[in-house]
Structure 1
């Protein structure tokens, strides 16, 4: 068979182990040969394109195992304001003034990025009063940087029909003052429900424009596959919009593979519909998602022991779904052949999630067609690392989260518990399979930086010196494997994605240098030279 494309490189990472020198040949959208150049069969025909790449690293395409397309597209677009730095409630208000000036009066002002731990020890939650004073003529909705809390002004509350009498949704809270009046802050499922309503309020033209911009970033960062996970636990508000992805697919503009994980509900109506409808190799349903706790920064992640800087006696967060209800959801999902993915950040939530998986497995037996995962796993107990391996549950994790605020994490959990924060090394040593992603929009999209965080345990400025909890760092090969083969395992497509081998789909990323030949501190500086999907070059720097 004549090859359509041949990539020659001194460094080819196959998806596992160390790189080799040789060629990758692509024909008909799949890999026809990979190996030493001098052992390659006759491949060159009249239409074969050969690229001499020298020391540039050829590898499987990056696969972001956990992100939210709809939220990320809008948050990274010109229609919203990302607040990357902020030091106080008033600082947030001042930083958004130039953006508010671009919005017509009465139009939604939507921002993301305020972060309470950045405001100093003992800082109080913001209120609608400050937003009302600054921006009375716009409905304002500001998402926290972790995406779990919304801060609204009075006009936004009125527009959404939220009053003092509005009941709290399961797993969420509309914060009220001592007189029972809304403060303007909505936590967890209350906040995500609000945010879903607001984000779905943009015009179709704005949303499609934002999608196109995000997809261009996927290509620029060498991302050939993603997992689009339900962003809330509420039916009808999970912010998955496969119908929009269908339009891009039909127009030949879906330049990555989207794997869909809608919210798991007891009736399973939407997951069943999506399982039947979305079966295309570039747009397919792969399972279901649910939340079990919140985030550490607002003390809503569920811990086995109280927070070190507890705000009240017994402050250890709470589950967003009762354990018995999660047990039932996992059982129903697995019984119906659906892989389950559960948001678990605190060690208490991780323990409860593993309990649910263990009960389902005992009742139903192991099904090789099902790959259950836990998402995030920021703080874990050593015994539960062994349970992950024993149950075959994958750990879907985001190295970028470890670098957002290490000092805040230490204040929340104390130095003893941080030894098991983002415990990549301990997990791999125990036989746990890792899948890496970003949870975009709560972190930056760049997978190369994410790989660097896992290898160095340092941010892009090289801090902290020596690496934060460096004993949990992993090798470059292990980090790349988690971002390629590991993520393919999470969607049960490792037979066709995640490695460079004969017969695999030709989804390939080429970096501008050999990461294996540079100091670890320079990994972050690499850039994508080529992105290839189905054997076609979709991006070239």
Structure 2
């Protein structure tokens, strides 16, 4: 047999190919020295992970991982700390997170008086006429009830007294209600005297809370908030960019490497695109187009979804806001509120539009994600999803429609999620915050049979996407993980947890923050698990969240965050 080339050339080519292969498989980073949970069913834990730039080369034994290392490979010893895939915030509001850090943060306030004191302090440094903004108050979480209330809410008098010349607007923690002082209402054409401006106080899909004389109390529910918010000056470009930077840093501090942004408009779309182009989008963004802007949806229907080959910024879903929150009694219920007879909450988006969007979105390749907290809202949305799915079977093999929150379900509707292959995106931390007072809204029967039904949904065969709904709750994933497995408040109440049969296992809870969250965004083939070929996004913890005593989970700190193969946060150095 004769070779077409000289043997020396053939051997050279073989050697070159061998060297090229070795170079291709050389790790730039080797991680070892602590528990590594992969969320990969073929091997749930590994000793070491080899990374080349932004991609995982190998996950397995230390002996095998060493084969990918060279003298140039960076070695990272976990020193007993624990590593998982990078955590995914499965439902939040990214710019809301950043803006919240610029304004008054009321999430930890425990009384109306404390809020008034915070506003009074801000008034001292505010310019005359400058708006004072904040978010995070929740009347059901206060330690004491204000002396004067209407429908369970405080009235504006104390707030107006400390800020007579500065308009004030403080968003409820849920974002589904707001609290204005007299100056803010005056600028909006609403007088605080009885019987003035009554024609403005009837708002479809919302409610102006008024006292017995007809006087507005300062609380605006659901779409009635627009009466005030339309007058708030737009955020400046400098503030906008600062809020973005703060949001990225907050994600990194909390071990978050990916973020499902639940409803954004043109301004945020343009901002994210610009930040990606500038190399500053250092959180993987799965952005949902807001359903409030019909023209925006029509434009995207024509162009179709955009799936980013760089896995930084993807647009392939639509967010619909279909009811309110339980705390503000805006969640849309089948039966009246237990603590407000005759009131059923609010349908904040016409169901005809939900049906139209489900049909048109499906036809154009878009996932539809609908906010629903109350049992009626969930049922109505499932009905519209079913119409779209059954009406277009050629498009339904992998639609992955979602219901955001799915907090309170009628028992008859629980099996429908699996039957229709609808994904519930449920924020476990809401149970810790809401369950102590939610029973007042719904009564024990509805709570036990249909609220926060995590295990029942999982056993039916659907994945759960976890998260925090930041800035409704702090973005802290450790708190949501703890809520998932304990079903207790963050103070550890009650012993054994609320409705303990619905607890997640720790494996389920971790999966809901990683691989199942990736699945909820069509991204499970390249992230959410530690295995060869997946993105090198990792979260590292101060202790082993999978084995530590339940009572110690909340002591866990994020020790390090690795994004795209690079350390972007390290405790004590940022």
Fold match (TM-score > 0.5): yes
Query: Do structure 1's residue 371 and structure 2's residue 400 form an aligned pair?
Result: yes
Question: Which runs of structure 2 are paired with 1:98-137 in the superposition (5 Å)?
Answer: 98-117=121-140, 118=142, 120=145, 123-124=149-150, 125-137=153-165
List aligned pairs for 1:353-368, cutoff 5 A. Answer: 353-365=381-393, 366-368=395-397
Cα offset, 1:194, TM superposition:
4.5
How far residue 128 of structure 1 moved from its aligned partner, in angstroms, is: 4.2
**CA gap 1:83/1:521 in 2 versus in 1, 3 angstroms:** closer
Secondary structure of the equivalent of 1:32?
A: strand
Deviations 1:320-351 (A, max 9, x none): 22333322221121122110111110111111
**Structure 1 alignment gaps of length 5 or more:** 232-237
CA RMSD after TM alignment = 2.6
2:237 aligned residue (175, 183, 204): 204
Report SS of the residue matched to 1:252.
coil
Tell me, in whole angstroms, the C-alpha distance in 1 between the residues paired with 2:345 and 2:60.
52
**2: CA distance between counterparts of 1:215 and 1:3?**
27
User: What is the 5 A alignment of 1:436-447?
Assistant: 436-447=466-477
Aligned with residue 61 of structure 1, among 86, 108, 119: 86
- Give TM-score, length-normalised by structure 1: 0.91
The answer to whether the 8 A contact 1:143-1:195 is kept is: no
2:111 maps to: 87
Relative to structure 1, the CA distance from residue 454 to residue 182 in structure 2 (aligned partners, 3 Å threshold; closer, same or farther) is same
Name 2:344's counterpart in structure 1: 316
After superposition, residues 282-361 of structure 1 pair within 5 angstroms as: 282-309=312-339, 311-313=340-342, 315-361=343-389
- Going from structure 1 to structure 2, the CA distance change for 1:208 and 1:275 (only over 3 Å counts) comes to farther
Distance in 1 (alpha carbons) for counterparts of 2:459 and 2:66: 39
Q: Which residue of 2 aligns with 1:155?
A: 183
CA contact (8 A) 1:173 1:186 kept: yes
2:263 is aligned with 1:230: yes
**Conserved? CA contact 2:160–2:182, under 8 Å:** yes
Q: Is the 8 A contact 1:171 1:320 kept in 2?
A: yes
Q: Deviations for 1:201-224, whole angstroms, at most 9, x for unmatched residues?
A: 222212222321221111111100
Partners in 2 of 1:514 and 1:37 — Cα distance? 19
- Cα distance change, pair 193–330 in 1 and its aligned pair in 2 (3 A): farther
- Matched residues in 2 for 1:45 and 1:221: separation? 32
Deviation at 1:448, TM superposition (A): 1.3
Q: Bigger shift: 261-270 or 29-38?
A: 261-270
Matches within 5 A, 1:443-458: 443-458=473-488
CA-to-aligned-CA distance 1:119-161 (integer Å, 9 cap, x gap): 5499323444443332111111111121111121233234456
Larger CA deviation: 241-250 vs 326-335? 241-250
Which secondary structure does the structure 1 equivalent of 2:470 belong to?
A: coil
How far residue 398 of structure 1 moved from its aligned partner, in angstroms, is 0.7
Q: Distance in 2 between matches of 1:43 and 1:439?
A: 40
Aligned length: 530
For 2:8, the equivalent position in structure 1 comes to none
Distance 2:80 2:306 in 1: 43
User: Match of 1:73?
Assistant: 98
Q: Name the CA distance, whole Å, in 2 between partners of 1:193 and 1:340.
A: 28
How many Å separate the matches in 1 of 2:100 and 2:154?
21
Answer whether contact 2:206 2:223 (CA < 8 A) is retained: yes
In the superposition, the TM-score normalised over structure 2's length comes to 0.86
Q: Kindly indicate whether the alpha-carbon contact (under 8 Å) linking 1:456 and 1:521 is maintained by their aligned counterparts in 2.
A: no
Q: 1:437 to 1:83 in 2, by over 3 A?
A: closer
Kept after mapping to 2: 8 A contact 1:400/1:444: no
Partner of 2:13: none
Which deviates the most, 422-431 or 462-471?
Answer: 462-471
1:15 pairs with 2:39: yes
How far, CA to CA, are the matches of 2:61 and 2:333 in structure 1?
Answer: 51
Say which one has the larger Rg.
2
How far did residue 262 of structure 1 move?
1.7
CA 1:168–1:246: 2 relative to 1, 3 Å: farther
CA 1:428/1:497 → structure 2, altered by over 3 Å: closer, same or farther?
same
